[in-house]
Each structure stands twice: as structure tokens, then as C-alpha cells.
Amino acid sequence: MTAVTLLDAVNMGLHSEMSADPDVVLLGEDIGLNGGVFRATAGLQEKFGKQRVIDTPLSETLIAGMAIGMAAEGLKPVAEIQFMGFIYSIFDQIINHASRLRNRTRGRLTCPMVLRAPFGGGIHAPEHHSESTEALFAHIPGLRVVIPSSPSRAYGLLLAAIRDPDPVIFLEPKRIYRLVKQQVQDDGIALPLDVCFVLAEGSDVTLVSWGAMIHETLEAAKQLAVSGISAEVIDVATIKPLDMNTILASVAKTGHCVIIHEAAKTCGVGAEIAAQLAEQGLMSLFAPVERVTGYDTVMPLFKLEQDYMPSVARIIAAVTRTLEDT
């Protein structure tokens, strides 16, 4: 067992699956010789060769189209888009083809591809390198959307995503690529998709988050504990499909819920969670659901970046409001 960063865990997971399954291939811009813009694929072309770790031209539409074709023919491509801000040109391929291939062929063909992309703010990058637009993909039938929040979950969820017979959008929060190290066993054991992970148990309030914001959420839970408030922390991990059973069970216990995400507030994944809580768990709530999110603006440049992103103080303030409303 080795202490690794989230970035290292992604590399470890790719290496593990490529060693175990010759049908797994990687493609993307600069992923081979240079090891990717963040070095997530460093050393893999040297290990597995240029036919399995493919440096593509600077064309996201080509990357997506190649990946879908490979998947339809039985390979298991893992395609990288350098930043989420460059992902929008592939909507046609992903929405009209990847997500619909199983339905269109009545199950004769599937699309076992993974689309990796670093996303989110916090690294002082321009606005088109800092977006959190996971809700766009979560709206599309036929897609899974997975977001790890730690090295161990990055490793285990990536293995599961590569083994899934249908397309998975695997979004990596780059702010925490190298933030912490965690002991990860390179044992080839995948974590389950489509389930939430309860990271801390509590009895007073449920804190629901995913990706990089899990770190602020856990810190808020620690500070709340000092004040005698017991917070349950849930990492959604797979935002499509949502594991509402875990969230509903937690809210039935605590009676309060605060949802935290970095993306803009309007029509975000937090809104869907709140809507399903209203539909299925209204009688469990002692107060309205609170949301702590980014704002409905473009991510600002780095001087205002931290003002845009949810903070520990904003999370604690939201918890205080919902408890006072009881």
C-alpha cells in the first residue's frame, strides 16, 4: 500500500486496467510523450506503447468520435479532454451517439468508453479552465457522471468506470489533484458506482457534496462538532444516477440538509437533490433545504476566485440557518 495523491491514483488506476485488459486504450492531446497536461498519464506510453496510448491532434471532436468508434468495435477507450472548458464541442458525439448507442441498436452495440476531464476552480486559471458544469451531462439519459473526491475513490471509481459497458463521464477535481495523500492499495478492486459514500456519521444535519468541495464540507463538520453540532457528511460520488436512498435515509435521521457544490446555483445537481428530497422526504425535513454553491456568473479571475467558491464559513452559516428554522 502506497501513499498517493489523487493524480497518482488516476495514473495507478489506468495502469492497472491496461495491464489487466488489452482492450483498454488511452487517447488525448499530449497524453503520451508528455504524460498529459497534469501528468496523469505519465509513463503509460513508455509502458504500453504508442498503439495503446495515443497522442491525438488538437481536436476534441476527433477524440470523442474516435473513442465512440473504438467502443462500438469492442475496445474500451479512455479519452482525455484537457480541461472541462474544452469539452463543449463534443456534445454532438456524446449526446447523439455515445449516450444512445445501446438504445439505437436495441442492445446489439454498447459504448464502453470513459471520458476523463479535469474540472473546477481553485488553481488560478482562466475562466474556461475553471468551470464546474457537471449538470449538463447529468441531464442526459444514457450517461453516468462520476466525480471522485479522494485518491482511494479516484482509483476505485476509475476502475469501475472503465469496466462499465456504457459511457461514463469521469470528472477529476483538479484543485485537489495534489492536495492530500492517502494510502491506496493497487489491488484492482473497483468501488461501486451509483452509490453515495457516508464519510462521517451525524445526527443533527446532513451535509451533501461531491468532488473538491468534500474537503471544505469535512472541515465545516469538524468545526461544527466543536460547537456541539453533529453533521453527517455524504459524498455523492456518482451524480448520475443519484443514490437518493442514502441521502433520504440520512435526512430521515437528521431532519436537516445542506447541499454544497462549486457549480452555479441555478439548475445545478444540488437543485435536483433538493427537488427529490421535497418529493420523497418532505415529512422528514424540519426546515427548508439549504444550498451553498457557486454564483450564477462566469468563474472570475484568480483575485476573486475564492470569493466565488463555497467556503467553510458559508457552509457553517447555512447549517446555522437551517437549525434556527426548526
Which positions are annotated as active-site residues?
129
Place of cell 447523439: 96
CB 218 within 8 A of CB 260: no
Measured CA to CA, the distance from residue 122 to residue 183 in angstroms comes to 24
Q: Which residues contact 176 (CB under 8 A, 6 or more apart)?
A: 6, 149, 150, 211, 212, 215
Measured CA to CA, the distance from residue 196 to residue 218 in angstroms comes to 15
Instruction: Look at phi and psi of residue 77 and say left if phi exceeds 0, alpha if psi is from -120 to 50, else beta.
Output: beta
Measured CA to CA, the distance from residue 173 to residue 176 in angstroms comes to 6
Integer CA distances (angstroms), 107 to 94, 112, 305, in order: 17, 12, 45
Helix segments in 34-131, DSSP class H = 44-48, 60-72, 91-96, 101-104
Measured CA to CA, the distance from residue 158 to residue 146 in angstroms comes to 9
Measured CA to CA, the distance from residue 208 to residue 249 in angstroms comes to 12
* Closest among 53, 42, 170, 188 to 118, alpha carbons compared: 170
Grid coordinates belonging to 39: 501528468
Point out which residues pair with 24 in neighbouring strands.
76
Point out which residues pair with 170 in neighbouring strands.
116, 146
